[in-house]
């Protein structure tokens, strides 16, 4: 009697498993709400262009100032290497947000003369150069190891203290030309 009950139970389990194998589970419904960050910025006038580049340049300068402060703290041994890396994280996150806004979400739809186009291209080139210098330092700071600390210090001296201020000055001078 026990063996019949065992065989019957096993047979029922196999039937249930086989019957359920052919069915697909229901697919989850995913809804994506549009966010403010996904709305493109459309620049159509010279005033909008200058306003946005000036605002983005201000963000770059603020981030560079924070980098200098944290680097000085690290040099003075107020924070250790791990503390420096952690201090660079929010600055790097801000840079990534700025890059998304200025590089990916901005569309330029301006009617411009060849001279104006040359001006806009030069300003964007100068902005991109300054942004790249600061971004390169932030990326290096996130991948920092004790062995690479000397390289980062050299990069800081040459680029953050030397090259970046020159690039920002050139950018601001090119913004004033129009």
Whether residue 84 contacts residue 141, with contact meaning beta carbons closer than 8 Å, is answered with: yes
| Segment 105-125, tens digit of pLDDT | 777 777 778 888 888 889 999
Q: What is the model's pLDDT at position 34?
A: 39
Task: Answer whether residue 31 shows pLDDT above 50.
Answer: no
| Segment 136-168, tens digit of pLDDT | 999 999 988 889 999 999 999 999 999 999 999
As to burial, measured by CB atoms within 10 angstroms (0-12 exposed, 13-18 middle, 19+ buried), residue 3 is exposed
If pLDDT is split at 50, 70 and 90, which confidence band does 178 have?
low
The residues spanned by each domain of the chain are 42-176
User: What dihedral do alpha carbons 88, 93, 97, 103 form, nearest 10°?
Assistant: 60
CB atoms within 10 A of CB 83: 13
Question: What's the Rg (C-alpha) of the chain?
Answer: 28
Whether residue 128 contacts residue 146, with contact meaning beta carbons closer than 8 Å, is answered with: no
CB atoms within 10 A of CB 154: 10
Task: Answer whether residue 38 shows pLDDT above 90.
Answer: no
Q: What is the model's pLDDT at position 28?
A: 40
**CATH T-level fold of 42-176:** 1.20.120
Work out the average pLDDT over 64-81.
95
Whether residue 134 contacts residue 77, with contact meaning beta carbons closer than 8 Å, is answered with: no
| Residues with Cβ within 8 Å of residue 45, at least 6 apart in sequence | 110
Whether residue 109 contacts residue 44, with contact meaning beta carbons closer than 8 Å, is answered with: yes
Return the minimum-mean-pLDDT range out of 40-44, 53-57, 167-171.
40-44
Is the model more confident about 144 or about 64? 64
Whether residue 51 contacts residue 114, with contact meaning beta carbons closer than 8 Å, is answered with: no
Q: What is the model's pLDDT at position 32?
A: 33
If pLDDT is split at 50, 70 and 90, which confidence band does 17 have?
low
Q: What is the model's pLDDT at position 27?
A: 46
Q: What is the model's pLDDT at position 22?
A: 54
Query: 91, 103, 96: which is closest to 63 by C-alpha?
Result: 91
Is the model more confident about 115 or about 171? 171
Task: Answer whether residue 9 shows pLDDT above 80.
Answer: no
Q: What is the model's pLDDT at position 43?
A: 79
CB atoms within 10 A of CB 136: 14
């Amino acid at each position: 009697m026990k063996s019949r009950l065992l065989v019957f139970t096993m047979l029922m389990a196999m039937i249930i498993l086989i019957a359920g194998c052919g069915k697909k589970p229901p697919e989850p419904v995913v809804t994506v709400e549009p966010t403010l960050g996904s709305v493109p910025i459309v620049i159509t006038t010279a005033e909008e262009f200058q306003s946005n580049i000036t605002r983005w340049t201000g963000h770059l300068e603020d981030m560079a100032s924070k980098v200098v402060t944290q680097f000085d703290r690290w040099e003075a041994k107020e924070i250790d290497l791990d503390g420096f890396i952690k201090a660079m994280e929010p600055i790097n996150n801000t840079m990534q947000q700025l890059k998304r806004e200025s590089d990916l979400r901005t569309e330029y739809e301006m009617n411009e003369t060849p001279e104006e186009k040359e001006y806009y291209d030069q300003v964007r080139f100068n902005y991109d150069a300054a942004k790249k210098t600061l971004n390169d330092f932030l990326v290096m700071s996130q991948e920092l190891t004790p062995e690479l600390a000397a390289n980062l210090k050299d990069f800081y001296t040459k680029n953050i203290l030397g090259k970046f201020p020159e690039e920002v000055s050139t950018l601001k001078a090119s913004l004033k030309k129009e």
